[in-house]
Structures are given as C-alpha cells and as structure tokens.
Chains A and B, each alone.
Chain A
Amino acid sequence: MANNNKTRFNFVDVLVILVILAIIGASVLLILNRNDLLNLGEEVPVEYVVRISKVKADYLPLIKEGETAKNSSDGKEIGTILSVKTEPSPVYGDTAISDGNNGLTVSLGEAEDSFDVYVTIKTDASRDQRGILSTDGIRLLVGSTVYFKIPSFTSVSFITSVKSN
C-alpha cells in the first residue's frame, strides 16, 4: 500500500512532465537560434568613436586616454579609451540669414564654455553572421546610443564611426 502511494505516476503527471520538457526544449532552441544569428560570431578588434555633446570645460580633464569606459546602464566594460579629441560645441543663431544659395539658414558659431568630445574606444567585439558588430549588447553602428561612463563622468553619447579589421 505504502509502495503503491510512492510509485503512483499517472497519465496527467506524464503529460505535465512532457509539456515542461517541451517548453524547456523550445526555449533552448529559441535561444540557440537567436545566438546563432546574433552573437556567436568571431571576436574582432574594433575601434569606434563616440561623440559626447556639450561637455563643460571643467569635465574635459576627466576623459583621458587609457581609461576604461563602461556602459552606465549595466556597468559592463565597453572598451579602453585610445584617444580624445575636443572641439567647441556649435552655437546657432536665431535670425534667418541667406545661405548664399537662394535659401535661408542661421549663423553658426562656437560655444566658449562647452565642447563636443570625440572619444575613440578600442574593444574586442563580436561580429555576427550578418556582419554586425556588438559589444556588451551594444550594436556598434553609426548613430547607436552608448551610455558612456568613466570614473567621475557619465553621459549619453552616440557612435559616429566604427572601424574593424
């Protein structure tokens, strides 16, 4: 009697186990397929440039070569800073002027106290079967957003160029 109770294994139990196994199998297949398409590519060294706009002059010394850059949204490393280039942020006028071509535009000047910073970052990225590079879930594409973080400085940046071998 006691044995019967222990070994009781009916049709519903089998069905439940089968369904659980099927769900696990389907999930594994889905993950494998997705990884196959997106991530399981070759690792390649990449240099990409991010632009951080309107950085105050006081913060410029914080962004320096050799610093490890991280993704501020998850804290993971996104590469090492190879070089930093700064230029005054553009300032636009609010009065229409001729663009010299029968059209109208506004004047373009340079800000005195804020800068656009172009940071070249080196990392090993994975290249998927489509040829798209990514690191830490960030697609390394022109225009992609990078939540840039180094010690004492965090900002949103955008990729302006990507170079790989």
Chain B
Amino acid sequence: MANETTSQKSGFHVLDAFIFLLVALCIAAIVMRIVQTFDRKEQFETASVTFSVIDVAEDTAKALHAGSTVYLASNNDKIGSISIVTYGPATLSAKDENGNLVSVAHPTRKTITGTALLTGIWTDDGFLINGTLLASAGATVLIYTNEVECTLTVEKVERAD
C-alpha cells in the first residue's frame, strides 16, 4: 500500500515521458517553422521576372497594368508588382501557300508580355517566388492583381538592382 501511494505520487511513467517528448518535439517544430518563416521573409530579395500570359481574351490583356500589386492566388500573399506590361496578338499555326505550317497572328486572342518585380529568395536552384515557387523558365504561376487574374509563364529571372 505504501509502495502504491509512492508510485502514484511520483506519477511519471514511461508513457508520460513519451508524451512529454512528443509535445516538446511539436513545440520545437512549431518554433523552428515560425523562426524559419520569419527568417526567410527577412532574407527576401527582389528579382526581375520577365513573363508572358499566353493566349488570353483582350479583356484580360487590357486589365493588367504596370504598377499593379501582384498576389499569389494559392495563398493570397503579396509577392510584388508589375513594372512593365504590353500585349499583342497571340499566335497560332496555319498553312501557307505551300502547305507548310507557319506561325501567324491570332485575329482576336492576345499574348501579354512584361516584367514584374517579385520578392523571394535566391537558392542554388534559382529564384523561389515568395520562398516557395521555383521561377524557372517555363514555370507557371497563377496570380491576381486588383483587376485581373491570370497565369504568368516565367520567361527569364534576373537579380533586380
């Protein structure tokens, strides 16, 4: 009986120790994640990303303006702004008089080209937009501004001055 009482008072079994370790690990993981996130945001740099928005309606092309703030559609984070934007006819393939396929201007659809100053982090693999999305040539990023939502196709990424 005396033994039983002692054991209950100390009340710290292997299971408790296991739970304690688990909780401690969870806390450590959360703290590390928070610290990493803040650290990453502090390390963010700006890159000049040349992009195109391929084959869109003219309404979309007209609604993307220089100076617009850019948000990432997947998590609504602000990732930068559009610095230069122009648009022209999209292209499609058609047969010429010899039956060869040639690239011609689309009568109605447009392709937007431009440059955006986006924040992120430079890694050995390249520039990660917002620290998460690798901005390699050909990568697509769904973004929106205050007026328009569209998919940017990355053409080129350079360090911004």
Taking beta carbons and an 8 Å cutoff, which residues of A are in contact with B? 1, 4-5, 8, 10-12, 15-16, 19, 34, 37-38, 51, 90, 92-96, 99, 103-108, 130-132, 139, 141-144, 158, 160-162
Beyond A5-B8, A106-B94, A158-B57, list 6 extra A-B contacts (CB 8 Å).
A1-B5, A105-B104, A108-B107, A132-B144, A141-B145, A143-B60
Q: Which residues of B contact A160 (CB under 8 A)?
A: 57, 59
CB within 8 Å for A19 and B27 given contacts A90-B108, A104-B104, A141-B147: yes
Q: Which residues of A contact B5 (CB under 8 A)?
A: 1
Interface SS, A side:
mixed
B107 close to A105 (CB less than 8 A): yes
A16 close to B23 (CB less than 8 A): yes
User: How distant is the Cα of A161 from the Cα of B147 in the complex, in angstroms?
Assistant: 9
Chain B residue nearest to A98 (CB atoms) is B104
Chain B residue nearest to A1 (CB atoms) is B5
Specify which of A34, A92, A96, A141 is in contact with B96 (CB 8 Å cutoff): A96
Please name 15 pairs of A and B residues whose Cβ atoms are closer than 8 Å in the assembled complex, sorted by A.
Answer: A8-B11, A15-B23, A96-B102, A96-B104, A99-B104, A104-B105, A105-B89, A106-B104, A141-B145, A142-B147, A143-B56, A143-B59, A143-B63, A158-B57, A161-B59
Q: Which bucket holds chain B's interface residue count?
A: 35 or more
User: How distant is the Cα of A51 from the Cα of B145 in the complex, in angstroms?
Assistant: 20
Taking beta carbons and an 8 Å cutoff, which residues of B are in contact with A? 5, 8, 11-12, 16, 19-20, 23, 26-27, 56-57, 59-60, 63, 69, 71, 76, 89, 92, 94-97, 102-108, 144-150
CB within 8 Å for A106 and B107 given contacts A96-B94, A142-B148, A143-B149: yes
Specify which of A16, A34, A37, A99 is in contact with B19 (CB 8 Å cutoff): A16
Chain A residue nearest to B148 (CB atoms) is A142
CB within 8 Å for A108 and B108 given contacts A10-B12, A94-B94: yes
Q: Which residues of B contact A95 (CB under 8 A)?
A: 94-96
Query: Could you tell me the distance in whole angstroms from the C-beta of B52 to the nearest C-beta in chain A?
Result: 15
Chain A residue nearest to B102 (CB atoms) is A96
B146 close to A12 (CB less than 8 A): no
Q: Which residues of B contact A107 (CB under 8 A)?
A: 107
Specify which of B56, B105, B146 is in contact with A99 (CB 8 Å cutoff): B105
